[in-house]
Copies of this chain bind each other. A is one copy, B any other.
């Protein structure tokens, strides 16, 4: 291996600049040009390590969201409250933007599923299994309906995703067992 090594400083500057711009202008209005300018790097440096702005934000989000998964799952209410709290602020705007962009970029959709959505689904399933082991309900369907309600509200914006929703869902799921 020869040659100049990748600049860790530029990498961090780019990821932070991307998040900062998403917070200020909203995900859809962020451009790769602006990210490079904000981070003080050349545009080629961006294109060398990432392909699209979605790539950059996906990596930035993984760093933000990934540690949010505790090893031993708490009860359903706590899990939902914590997950829903993540959708508040920049993280929510970014992940909604990523999901929207994934509709025109199948590769991004694939990475979104494996890196962000899939792990959360698995975690919720674990919580449900532990919380109601005797239930004969279709767990995958329950997962779809819980996270479905969350995504539906995030995208359609007809209601908020907050602790109230977490509580209502928890009550409804209890009545299933």
Which A residues are closer than 8 A to B by beta carbons?
A: 26-29, 96-97, 99-104, 109, 112-113, 117-118, 121, 137-138, 140-142, 144-153, 155-159, 165, 168-169, 172, 175-176
Contacts and interface: CB of A to CB of B under 8 A. Distances in A.
A165 B150 CA distance: 18
Nearest to A118: B158
B141 A168 contact: yes
A29 B100 CA distance: 14
Contact of A117 (B103, B144, B158): B158
Contacts of A157: 109, 113
B155 A144 contact: no
Contact of A151 (B113, B140, B146, B151): B151
Contact of A152 (B29, B100, B147): B147
A141 B137 contact: no
A161 to B, nearest CB: 10
B151 A141 contact: no
